[in-house]
Chain A
Amino acid sequence: MAQFGEQTASGHLHVSPESKAPYDADVLAQLRADAETIIARYPVPRSALLPMLHLVQSVDGYITGRGIAVCAEMLDLTLAEVSAVATFYTQYKRHPNGEYTVGVCTNTLCAIMGGDEIWQSVSEHLGIGHDETTADGKITLERIECNAACDYAPVVMTNWEFFDNQTPESTVQLVDDLRAGKDVTPTRGPNKVCTFKQTSRLLAGFNDGLADEGVSAGPASTEGTRLARAKGWVAPGDDAPQANEEVHP
């Protein structure tokens, strides 16, 4: 972790006053009810903390002071204990996040396959840098680490859905579409990308019912499977299929 918190010169973690403003009663009631559901999944309540922080982001769009307070109170932790956890993980945002997080992988393999060029184009196009948000509140741009999709490099994630084999042009188009309010479809994911708050609710463990949308696997994931089928290769005990050579022209 290169940086711990948004710290003031005196070293204090900065929590803005508006992020401490109390929740409306109905919002709070729902938040607490959802949090109870999460806590019930675990033998020990504290295990609920990570999903509860995702839940806070689903309501507030980032980790707020009031969200930290609710987690602390419900799990019998101190504010410092909750803050320590919230500042450790990169998915927890310390200031209001855009409606869409666009993450460009710039770890070695993606960077070399074009991630650096993508990052540069989209950052210039939007006029923002890492962990910054466009003035319209639509897009937060991030440099991300390896997202386990190296066979689709260069990879861009939008609210943690896969956009495989991207180019600078496709990514600029992606952010333009998002800013224009158009639906965008991930390469491997649901029919359209959810908002940051919706995705955060999913990550809190609330199934959004979209599992049956999208592909089973992308083309790179099935290269070996298709090659084996074309060559008639099987695992021991499996019947050899008819070799069919249609797979790779």
Chain B
Amino acid sequence: MTQTTTPQLVETDVRLRLFERMVILRRFEKRVYDLFLQGFVKGTSHLSIGQEAIAAGFGEAMRSDDWTFATYRGHAHTLSRGVDMAPVMAELMGRAGGLMAGKGGSMHLTSVEHGMMGSYAIVGAHLPIAVGAAFSAKYRKSGQVAVCFFGDGTTNIGAFHEALNFAAVYRLPVVFVCENNLYMEYTAIHDVTAVEHPAADRAAAYGLERIIVDGNDVSEMYRIAQARLTRARDGYGPSLIEALTYRHNGHSRADPGKYRPDAEVAAWMERDPIPAYRERLEREGVTTQALDAIEERVSIAVDRATESAKASPPPPAEAAYRDVWSDGGWQWRS
């Protein structure tokens, strides 16, 4: 259902690609928000607006056969692996042309061809699963790395600790990325966590380095992603990265985020990763026209993806009864 004839990501200069990736994620998510308000987006959705630098940096640094494990806040990570906008948009709208044929919605984005191993709605569940994938890479000596994204709130559930210990014990090629946006759903992470830095301050417990990075700085994210992916590929085991960031919107669809102090929101809005990077590129000599051209192109691509998604029909009801068992059905009795 991809209608675009040009690839989604066209820049070749890494700096421009990072910018382009962030613009794709931002404009896509903004459109999703609008479509939600208009009643087109079905079910829930969790946006990554404000957190784009993390997905963009990793998306750029990862090898095409590496694996991504994301949470319900997974649109950005899916797009950043190169999945087209149109099927993702259609999926959020619950259309037959969606990435999961309209059956999964926002929280089930998966793409085998892009190494997108799934979006997981149970907090923490995907950390041990990423460990398993990394186990297979090590066993088969494939050089693949599993990258597992999750939030600050996730560091307080048992699966986080089980997975980190597993990964460290067997020196597995897995990079854990904690996107610390300071909140779980509505509770500030500091109110419910024994340490200042929910991920980094736990690293020592698993013999790992304490890594804290500016999650709103895309070049920093790209640099740390490259370094840690290489390290994992070279057999030096797992990493745990805590990336400091902030979500501009509420936790999910209709949450206005009122539990956050105005001054805090304002301060983080000042640190929006996209304008900051744009200014930096301009200082480095990239022309305004070149950057505008990217914004313009992405904007058209988002429009096209939206139109194509809207044109897609709803899925047939039988989709709900498919793929429970390996015979393709749901009623497996002998």
Note whether A and B form a binding pair.
no
Give B contacts to A, CB under 8 Å.
none
Give A contacts to B, CB under 8 Å.
none
